[in-house]
Structure 1
Amino acid sequence: MRKILVSVLLVFIASATSWAQMTEDRIIQYVLEQQEKGMSQEQIVYNLSRRGVTVQQLQSMREKYEKQQATGVLGNTVPMVDGRPEQRVRERSQTLNLVQDDPSSVQLTERERLLQMYDEAMFMFTDSLLLLKQQLFPPEKEIWGHSIFSNKNLSFEPSMNLPTPQNYRLGPGDEVIIDIWGVSQNTIREVISPDGNIMVEGVGPVYLNGLTIQAADRHIKRELSQIYFGLDKDDSGSNIKLTLGQARSIQVNVLGEVENPGTYMLSSFATVFNALYMAGGVTEIGSMRDVRLYRNNREVAKIDFYDYLQNGILSDDIRLYDNDVVMVLPHSMLVNISGRVRRPMYYEMKDGESISTLLDYAGGLESDAYRNDIRVIRMGEFQREIFTVSKDRQADFLLADGDSLYVDSIKTTFSNMAEIRGAVFRPGQFQIDGEITTVRALIEAAGGLCEDAFPTRALLSRTNPDKTLTNLAIDIQGMVNGNVPDEPLRNDDVLFIPSLFDIGEIKTISIYGEVMFPGVYRYADNTAIEDLILQAGGLKETASIAKVDVVRRKSDKNAFEKSDELSETISFSIDENLSLNDGGFTLMPFDEVYVRRSPGYALNRRVIVEGEVVFPGHYSLSTNNERLSDIVTRAGLFSNQAYPAGARLERKMTDEERIRMRKTVETLSANDSLALAKKLEKLMEATTIDVGINLQEAIDNPGGADDIILRDGDRLIIPPFANTVKINGAVMFSNTTPYVKGKSLAYYIDKAGGFAQKAKKNKAYVVYMNGSVAKGRKASTKLIQPGCEIIVPTKEKREGMSTSEILSLSSTSASLATVVLALINLLK
């Protein structure tokens, strides 16, 4: 039997839904993404749990992380205990008391499981997360000058609106414009052909390839003088000028350490910088200081762009020709400078350049930089070396590839400062050499003592040479008056002068009860009860002036044992106009004043009488004990159409009644069916209740049990006579039928076509017009009255279990299986 039970439970548990687990890389990526969005650590762990991540996964990740940490790959700033953050271990030891020899043998609650997951995931929420992110997404080196090619605001396109340089060499594809004016006038536009010629009518081909603009102008002048008289003479009155129209395109090869090496079509005005921009700039190892230009298979230029980056001068930016080759070589020396410089990053250096040159490239030192020396870390043959280079050696200290320089900052401490805080007019830090050398001089420099300064004692906190602190008590009043010797100041002294309001509790007084603004007020000396009432907005109309209570604390600072007496209560009467009274009571700090509600004050209480009375409407209750019979009599008694047996009373619920009903509904909703729970929820929204009454009996026997006492807000409704009976609910046809005296419940059910298929026949009930209810089996004959309603309830529909309910049952069964297995082991 035990084996069968265990087998059934295990099969049921195995049928539960299994979640697909996230990979470790995806878990880390998810944590990084959610932290960047501002999600809390607890919510991240909860979401990981919902995505199927298990404690075992996090344990495996943490073990890998600890191995990396042990080998120096990652750092951690959180104290660890057994691989877990110390603080979380303490919290867990206080909240959980689980002994787990075998983790699989303990069924954790949802909260305990999440806490355990949180412990295992803490390594992802420490300062090491940044290092972990750097391992997944290592940052690129920021090398000075490389980012200029990725700047979208810089296009580095050659300007076509400048005058054509006289040394520009023409080639195939260039358009030339020949303007002739004076005695002869003409304009000739021709494109240089691939063989280097332009065709001029009347002259024939004219060879211009390879000529500069200046040389081409002279050459074309000689050639066209054959057909234009006097062009070759200065005083002929005819002139000619050759200019460049549309410039040709050239092919340039960009090779080496560039992002996109290849062949590019560029304008004939393009330079080396334009070519590098078209190729996407240099790579991380590409040189900005050794760019070679080859033309006709020989090197024609070696270009260093740092002069442009540093000074904006492009003296080495040479214009390109067709079939030129731009070669970017790898850098030969890359150094890094960090710390207090204006541009901390990597820089490409040349042989023979020193620290001073590097500082120029880095924009110089920050204002808070330590200028006396710079630390240089260099890669030696077998290990690293460090050099401390003083200021006077920086111009001569030559750099090497891989050097890492660090510029420290000056100390944040002061060499000549004393600080004053507290009750002075100008607190702050002051120079202590010169005019300010003593405590008294420091107070005067700070504008003097405030009116609320504590006069008898101040505190001077002094930093010792070993950075420990010493406190000196100062008699401020005696020192200011010259009765006590002045105290010399030292560097880093901090003088604190407390305010009277900084010492002890904040003195308050309180007032409660029948005032406009009850609450806590700041205490002021010589405050009378009447003064506090004025501060609180005055008395309400409901306030009693015959009795005002003052509750005063019991305090004995010299006592050695507790007292049974907690407070003292003093009662007074006050003047209604709060007029001045020489013998008035003066309040002390922390007194509590209670203004009572006057027993002689009563608010108007109203009821409503509706329906078949002679004078329906609103009525004000004249006494606390006014009853149903009294109010009906005041309303002129019943009209001829009144049906007293159907009268009902609606009553407003008090706050206490609503709270009590809410608790009852919550209890029933937790234990009963869903359909009943929905009905109970509607009850929670109600603000009134129906009170079952027998109005005719109340009129016939005034003051009797049925003549109930009325409350404020009651609503009495007296309907006209109704000679019908309603039948609703699980019947074939809900309707209203005439009342027949003496007929039973079955008679009226038949009038509605009989019971429906899902009717609860034995649960039928009758609701009378006065709000009372009778069960069906007791309402057979005489209890069926005019105007009543017969209701037949319906059997509840049984619904199948939802997926969440099945999973909940699976979880419950899993817990049950754990208990059963434990019992079986105990019984062995």
Structure 2
Amino acid sequence: MVSALTDQQVIDYIKKQSAAGKTEQQIGKELLAKGVTPEQANRIKAKYESQQNDIVDDHSEGLNVDRQRSVSGQVSGKLSNPNVNAAHADESSNEYKDIYGHKIFNTQALSFEPSENLATPQNYRLGPGDEVIIDIWGTSEDHLREKISPEGSIMIAQIGPVYLNGMTINDANNHVKNAFSRKYAGMDDAETEVQVTLGQVRTIQVDILGEVATPGTFRMSPFSSVFHALYLSGGINDIGSLRNIQVLRNNKKVAGVDIYEYLFNGKTSGNIRLQEGDVIIVPPYEQLVSIDGNVKRPMYYEIKPDETIKTILDYAGGFTGDAYAGMVRLQRQSGTENELYNIERGEFSSYRLKDGDVITVGTILDRYANRVQLKGAVYRPGMFAIGRDIRTVKDLIRKADGLTDDAYADRVLLYREGPDLQLQVIALDLKNILAGISPDVELKRNDVIEVASVEDLMSKGDITIAGHVTNPGSYPYAENMTVEDLIVQAGGLLEGASTARVDVSRRIVDPASVTATQQLSQVFSISIENGLGIGKGEHFVLKPYDRVEVRRSPGYSAQSIVGVKGEVLFDGEYVLQKRNERISEIVRRAGGLIPGAYIKGASLSRKLTEAEYIARKETLRLAMTNSQSGQGDSLALSKIEVADTYNVGIDLQKALDNPGSTYDLVMQPGDELFVPQEQSTVKISGDVMFPNAVVYEPGKKLSYYIDQAGGYGQTAKKGKAFIVYLNGTVAKAKRNTPIEPGCQIIVPSKPKNGGTDWTKILAFATSFSSVATMAATITNIFK
């Protein structure tokens, strides 16, 4: 597999993504996806290792090499180390263990890198590569900068080599001063002073081995600590220990690092400064336990052999507020099976844990040990605690500031849990209990006392108002409520409401009756003026369940609109002026017809009433049912949508010649009259040889126009041909049926199964003015 990226592109990509805050695991996966091979990663790693000696003399460049060394380690470690790859594969699986502290050394924002402005530590020992600055002042003055050679010395003119390797700054200062006393006068008399300081420092090599993301040799600042070295290695992997990290120097252990001491207590005693040749070993963890449930930080924790349940609880941040702290559940693997233990609170500090233990902290019970509830007609209903002040029912009522004025105290219900948690109901004479006549009742946990109100015991049904009011509906009954009050609650009267008659219907209530009655209700008719009752309706008091109906005034009528379009002088919309206004009157109000109007083709479109629309839908449904039973094409029928308008066949010429006659139709709201221009064609469609439109020839018969379309088709149903005229009328096509300009001759086909060819009918619909016309056509076909 050939990589799509060059070596330099890989390095640049790692630097850019690291600066963006991505982890090494994310960068490694992205490089794999981009085709970077393990061979290429190893080549990059070797390339930068070979360049280390060339730039080791420059401290800042040495730190850069250190970072580049880490970068190359990221590439090679992520792509070539199968253990690391397997570990990161576990991160996406359900078995991945989120161990506390493992992410601290692979976080970009926390590098533990030493400060370059740090004062030289007193115990820092000079070595090859360190730069020494010597300042001389007094009787003699000089300024020297020398770098310690690989042999451990610096060369001073007229003095020779001065050996400084392994010395501290103080030791080096005294040693140099003694050496300069041979060259400069006044050293012994303190007339000349010498000061030795540290310039640029060398880099050191440290080996990091064991369970880290990228084990190997790393070059870093001599001021670096163990934590910084762990960061450079990519952090501790999934099986690495946080509690037992060892630092070896000259084959001897010089420090043991416990990361938890730093994370939980802030102690950095094990985070020692590293020296040339130090070895850091991260062994696998020995014991790992898990804690979940109601603790503040549930996850995996690494423990030492002597740590207990109390320790792990401290690591997890302690219990949450709803945790049951009296006992924890511990699951342990015995080697052949799992075992379960319940550990009491007293054993937390002494019960030692083992590897693989799982601790679960439960939650407290969702119930109250001392709660009672008071409901109903008291001044302060709610929850109360049984205690020193509240022990009995009388105490509870007193704590709630007593009963309200409408409380029904003769019979109060106490709901109580029985021995088997079954609900029990106890009736109390609260009136006598409060008076001291009846014995008081001691309260128990979860008791619920409900004090009813006198009004709650009375039936108060809602009152309903309907008709011409702003907000018709049901409203709650109130004493002495009048019709005026109800109208105000309903938002007042609408325009057109009748003030001469408002009907109030009332239930017939006769509790003592022993026979049925023929009368179902009482009805009262009252008059109102300005929303107030007058005459018999003045202060008419309503009762529960009354129904008030505000009628529409017979003298009120909203404007009704009709439309006139086409060849009239003033087309547009017109408001009907009176009832039963006819077509001729509307045409006259529109200024009459203009020259060129085709009066025979005038048509009237009318909106379906709700009942008509339902009937049309039902007709279409029945047609579809017949089609599904094998008598037609149900798929074609399913595409038909019933319009909300239909055409009314009219003869406008006769209507204008005979005003007020049956030809002169009465206009209805929503009607639209259309008068077309003069027409000069006839359209022939359906099962003919060449459907087209031809010029109208006066006096020509049906056969002439069929011939103009090439004659009938092979499957034409000649006897069922029909003609649709512009005015919306339909006629069966016979030899002497008149042909008029603008009409359409339609020839249906014989279906293969002998039934109606609904597909053809549907095709004809495109030439109709509306689906309503098509419905009328279908009706005429089967007459």
- TM-score after normalising by structure 1: 0.66
Select the residue among 628, 647, 669 that pairs with 1:712.
Answer: 669
Secondary structure in 2 matching 1:215 = helix
For residue 166 of structure 1, what is the aligned residue in structure 2? 122
| 1:595 match: secondary structure | strand
Q: Does 1:517 align with 2:474?
A: no
Paired residue for 2:273, among 305, 309, 319?
Answer: 319
State the AA in 1 paired with 2:219: M
Q: 1:647 aligns with which of 602, 605, 611?
A: 602
What does residue 138 of structure 1 align with? 94
Structure-to-structure mapping, 1:730-745, within 5 angstroms: 737=695, 739-744=696-701
| Whole-angstrom distance in 2 between the partners of 1:339 and 1:614 | 87
**1:454 to 1:156, Cα distance in 2 relative to 1, 3 A:** farther
- Partner in structure 2 of residue 692 of structure 1: 649
Aligned residues: 653
Deviation at 1:140, TM superposition (A): 3.5
Partners of 1:172 and 1:196 within 8 A in 2: yes
Q: State the SS of the aligned residue for 1:287.
A: coil
3-state SS of paired residue (1:263):
strand
How far residue 308 of structure 1 moved from its aligned partner, in angstroms, is 1.6
Q: Which amino acid aligns with 1:270?
A: S
| Matches for 1:667-678 after TM superposition, within 5 Å | 671=627
- Is 1:568 the counterpart of 2:521? The answer is yes
1:214-293 matches, within 5 Å, as 214-225=170-181, 229-230=185-186, 232-233=187-188, 235-245=190-200, 247-293=201-247
Cross-structure match for 1:540: 494
Q: Which residue of 2 aligns with 1:810?
A: none
* Paired amino acid for 1:577: N
Aligned pair partner of 2:414 in 454, 460, 468: 460
CA distance in 2: counterparts of 1:152 and 1:497, whole angstroms: 66
Deviation of 1:284 after TM superposition, in Å, equals 4.6
The correspondence for 1:208, drawn from 161, 164, 176, is: 164
Any idea what SS the aligned residue of 1:589 has? coil
Residue-by-residue CA offset, 1:34-81 (whole Å, 9 max, x unaligned): xxxxxxxxxxxxxxxxxxxxxxxxxxxxxxxxxxxxxxxxxxxxxxxx
- Are the equivalent residues in 2 in contact too, given 1:612–1:639 (CA < 8 A)? yes
**Unmatched 5+ residue regions in structure 1?**
1-133, 799-828
Distance 2:372 2:639 in 1: 75
Name the amino acid aligned to 1:156: F
Q: Distance in 1 between matches of 2:185 and 2:323?
A: 76
Aligned residue for 1:149? Answer: 105
Report Cα offsets for 1:276-309 as digits up to 9, x if no partner: 3333444454333322222222333333333222
Q: Distance in 1 between matches of 2:292 and 2:709?
A: 96
The alpha-carbon distance between structure 1 residues 654 and 465, as it changes in their structure 2 partners (threshold 3 A), is closer
* C-alpha distance 539-192 of structure 1, shift in aligned 2 (>3 A): same
List aligned pairs for 1:434-583, cutoff 5 A.
434-450=388-404, 453-464=407-418, 467-480=421-434, 484-498=438-452, 507-553=461-507, 567-580=520-533
Quick check: 234-243 or 523-532, which moved more?
A: 234-243
SS in 1 for 2:283: strand
Deviations 1:148-205 (A, max 9, x none): 3354542222333321212112333334444445565554444434333444455554
The answer as to whether partners of 1:759 and 1:792 remain within 8 angstroms in 2 is no
Distance 2:474 2:381 in 1: 32
Equivalence map 1:338-357=2 (5 Å)? 341-357=295-311
Aligned positions of 1:617-632 closer than 5 A = 621=576, 624-629=579-584, 631=586
Q: Which segments of 5 or more consecutive residues in structure 2 lack a partner in the other structure?
A: 1-89, 753-783
Q: Do the aligned partners of residues 521 and 336 (structure 1) sit closer, same or farther apart at CA in structure 2, a change above 3 Å counting?
A: same
What is the identity, as a one-letter code, of the residue corresponding to 2:483? I
Native 8 Å contact 1:699 1:707 kept in 2: yes
User: Which shows bigger deviation, 179-188 or 526-535?
Assistant: 179-188
Does residue 195 in structure 1 map to residue 148 in structure 2? no
One-letter code of the match for 1:689? Answer: Y
Change (3 A) 1:394 1:547: closer
What amino acid maps onto 2:664 in structure 1? D
Does the Cα contact within 8 Å between 1:731 and 1:759 map onto a contact in 2? no
CA shift for structure 1 position 145: 3.2
CA distance in structure 2 between the partners assigned to 1:388 and 1:642 by the alignment: 102
Superposition deviation, residue 599 in structure 1: 4.3
CA contact (8 A) 2:207 2:278 kept: yes
Cα deviation, residue 766, structure 1? 5.0
* Mapped partners of 1:335, 1:222: distance in 2: 61
Q: After TM superposition, give the deviation of residue 493 of structure 1 in Å.
A: 3.0
CA contact (8 A) 1:554 1:565 kept: no
Does the aligned pair in 1 maintain the 2:679–2:742 contact within 8 Å?
Answer: no
* CA distance, structure 2, for counterparts of residue 547 and residue 211 of structure 1: 118
Q: Does 1:725 align with 2:725?
A: no
